[in-house]
């Protein structure tokens, strides 16, 4: 079968390598200049919305579509849902579970980045931003805070006036996060609820640091699984029933 996987996430790469015997096409948005590439055919760049994606599905004879994008890639997920319906291609959303608060956590859940930025001055003054470079602009107007932002590539303006940027790519270790929080005297952490390994949350818990956590946008209707194994099993079931 021909399987199109949307997303440059770790789960998307793992799924591309977990489908022997299938033709796998992985589609990356192209927002990172040096992405980690999955095995198999790779396509970089947008499709031109839902209609363009539907045309690609039909033109390439794609049998199955897997949306393994970042949990906050709401536009791409919506386009995938519409395109799959237009092309008559079965769609699966692969989404790892969100984080669950544990004893000792001091989480403040907010629905969007705007509310996260408004809440910050009441929680701390030395902020560790782990929201991704494209979201740093949401904090440009926050006064009275010093920011440390971590991203794979440099952010673009607008940015907070008092900002230091660390260019780095995960996964990150617990010891490394402990040193980072202590060395920069971080007293509040901001993140999006992307799920998966989260040494930064464990390090914040140890230090009693409050965490501002942005909730995920809702997924469009469709079949959803939480793990690469479940996604690979879905592909196998579709193949066997074809």
What is the domain-level CATH number for residue 159?
3.40.50.1000
**Same domain, yes or no, for 123 and 187?**
yes
**Same domain, yes or no, for 230 and 157?**
no
**Same domain, yes or no, for 63 and 112?**
no
Q: What pLDDT shows up at residue 19?
A: 97
**Same domain, yes or no, for 7 and 93?**
yes
Q: Coil, strand or helix: which one is 178?
A: helix
pLDDT band at 29 (very low <50, low <70, confident <90, very high): confident
Domain region containing 13: 2-97+218-241
Domain count, the chain: 2
**Same domain, yes or no, for 147 and 193?**
yes
**Same domain, yes or no, for 230 and 201?**
no
Does residue 219 carry a pLDDT above 90? Answer: no
**Same domain, yes or no, for 150 and 69?**
no
CATH number of domain containing 88: 3.40.50.720
Strand 91-94's sheet: what is its strand order?
41-44, 23-28, 2-6, 64-67, 91-94, 223-225
Does residue 35 carry a pLDDT above 90? Answer: no
What is the Cα–Cα distance from 67 to 95, expressed in whole angstroms?
A: 8
Structure tokens at 37: 């590439």
- Domain-embedded: residue 102: no
Backbone angles phi, psi at 232, to 5 degrees: -65, -40
- Domain-embedded: residue 166: yes
What is the Cα–Cα distance from 159 to 139, expressed in whole angstroms?
A: 7
Mean predicted confidence (pLDDT) in 22-32: 90
pTM: 0.92
Does residue 126 carry a pLDDT above 90? Answer: yes
Contact 119, 212 (CB under 8 A): yes
- Kindly report, residue by residue over 151-186, the tens digit of the pLDDT: 999 999 999 999 999 999 989 999 999 999 999 999
- Provide the β-strand partners of residue 43: 27
Residue with more model confidence, 145 or 31? 145
- Domain-embedded: residue 232: yes
- Domain-embedded: residue 89: yes
- Domain-embedded: residue 178: yes
- Kindly report, residue by residue over 48-81, the tens digit of the pLDDT: 999 999 999 999 999 999 999 999 999 999 999 9
Q: What pLDDT shows up at residue 221?
A: 80
**Same domain, yes or no, for 111 and 209?**
yes
The number of CA neighbours under 13 Å toward the Cβ of 242 is: 12
- Provide the β-strand partners of residue 146: 126
**Same domain, yes or no, for 123 and 197?**
yes
Does residue 32 carry a pLDDT above 90? Answer: no
DSSP 102: -
Does residue 34 carry a pLDDT above 80? Answer: no
Distance from CA of residue 44 to its chain's centroid?
17
């Amino acid at each position: 079968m021909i399987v199109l996987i949307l997303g440059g996430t770790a789960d998307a790469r793992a799924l591309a390598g977990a489908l022997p015997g299938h033709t796998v096409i992985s589609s990356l948005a192209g927002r990172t200049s040096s992405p980690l590439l999955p095995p198999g055919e790779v396509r970089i760049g947008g499709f031109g919305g839902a209609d363009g994606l539907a045309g690609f599905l039909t033109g390439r004879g794609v049998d199955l579509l897997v949306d393994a994008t970042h949990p906050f890639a709401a536009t791409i997920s919506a386009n995938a849902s519409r395109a799959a319906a237009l092309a008559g291609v079965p769609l699966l959303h692969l989404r790892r579970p969100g984080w669950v608060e544990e004893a000792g956590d001091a989480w403040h859940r907010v629905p969007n980045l705007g509310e996260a930025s408004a809440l910050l001055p009441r929680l701390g003054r030395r902020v560790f931003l782990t929201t991704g470079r494209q979201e740093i602009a949401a904090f440009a107007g926050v006064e009275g805070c010093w920011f440390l932002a971590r991203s794979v590539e440099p952010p673009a303006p607008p940015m907070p006036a008092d900002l230091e940027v660390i260019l780095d790519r995960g996964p990150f270790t617990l010891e490394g996060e402990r040193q980072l929080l202590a060395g920069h005297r971080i007293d509040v952490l901001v993140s999006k609820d992307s799920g998966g390994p989260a040494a930064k949350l464990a390090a914040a818990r140890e230090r009693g640091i409050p965490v501002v956590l942005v909730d995920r946008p809702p997924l469009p209707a469709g079949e959803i699984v939480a793990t690469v194994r479940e996604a690979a099993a879905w592909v196998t079931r579709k193949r066997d029933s074809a």
